Chains A and B, each alone.
Chain A
Amino acid sequence: MEVIQLDKARNTNFLKEVEAESGQKLSTCYQCGNCTAGCPGGEFYDRQVSQIMRAAQLGLKEEALGNRSLWLCLACSTCSARCPNEIDVAGVMETLRSMARREGYVNDRPIESFWKAFLDMVSMNGRTFEAGVMADYMLRTGRGWSNLAMAPAALAKGKMPFFPHRIKGRKEVARIFKRYAEKRS
């Protein structure tokens, strides 16, 4: 660990961005830790939610964005529901995750690959289709083989059709993705 030169390391613009994008006022957080206490993913995190909130409060961008926890957040909103200061903590986490992606804090994380696989499927067909998503995801990451163990059971129960249902308006859906991609670039 190193000593943080707090006066120099702080990036108040970063704090303002987080507040603007999430619509939450971080100065109301008094660090009671209730978000950490109730977080089902906490035990797998490398930095706890309340610590991420603290980092954002202080404007420490690296500490707030450069962690695995953002990608493990289950979006279950337990933290938001129990926050005594009515902060939508899950919303802040989502904001930080989105910022982390934009700022290049994440490359090739499996979860992002899964999301991409999922959304590509939606973009192509208008709906998702599990077998396709899985195959795409495994191809992208070389991971997820543990899921294969589940496949026979799912297949046996007829729960995994091999072909996607393509909707009539799939081009319309594809245009949503296209505009989104254009806007981002």
Chain B
Amino acid sequence: MTRWWIRPLVRLVAALLLPVAVPAILTLLIWALPGDPASIICPPETCGGSAGLAERWHLDDGPMGFFRHWAAGALHGDFGRSWRMLQGVEVGELLAEAVPTTLVLLALAGVPVGLGVVGAVTGRLPAKADPLFHVLGLMPSIVLGLAAAALVQLEFGAGAFDGSARWARLVGGALVLAFSDGALAGAVTGTRGLFSAEARQRYVGIAVLRGETVLSNTLPNVAPALVGQLRARVLHLLSGAVIVEALLEINGLGDLLWGGTIWQDFGVVLAAATAFAVLSAALLVVQAVAEVLVALHVRRAPAVGAE
């Protein structure tokens, strides 16, 4: 307990590192690929002479120069334009649509997961239900996703993306995210495990003899582990969003990344991957802050000495 601040600190450092490291590594990859970067980013057949591109995109200054320019632009919200996936469209514009969409998707997926966690903490959700969640959780997202896609297609038609069709895709995707690949099951059993283990501690029984409640004693003590688990869950959902969005054609970050990858549109991939890194970093920060708050709460003591 003496150096309680180390873990949060490590997390904060990691959080600072991620959004820089991810695009930096990607940049190196562009140069690691065979062929010259310009023609990798836009094949000569569509972009003709790549010398012009190299200059436009600062590809001729080597990886460092390119990354400097890119990062400088990114800091001002200028991610350049899409070369291949959606030629001419500002990548920033794509992000502006994708990030909120993915956040909504995660939020929707977070509802059942959150309810599961709360249910497990308060004991409202009987442990008897766990096997059911487990069976559901064994389903890979691709299978549930296909079912959801089929429903959307049957209900709204293949080409429908706006209005209620958009929401149907979002809600469908969220449910797939929440239930497949053990997301909900993991959250529920994980939380339950944490609390039941803590509730078995002797001090809890004694606290009851003092007329205190179990939760008021266990909650602060499991909070750090709980926050850690929740972060892992959200990260899991975030990663799952790639497949689900691509499958259900939801205009989110995951789909953007998928599109960027198959079109080898590095501008888009860079931006999307960085956005993912930022979201993940934000989660790290949240966890670190939560840990600090808990530590401070634990250390709280009435001002003594005055009599």
Chain A bound to chain B: no
B residues within 8 Å of A by Cβ? none
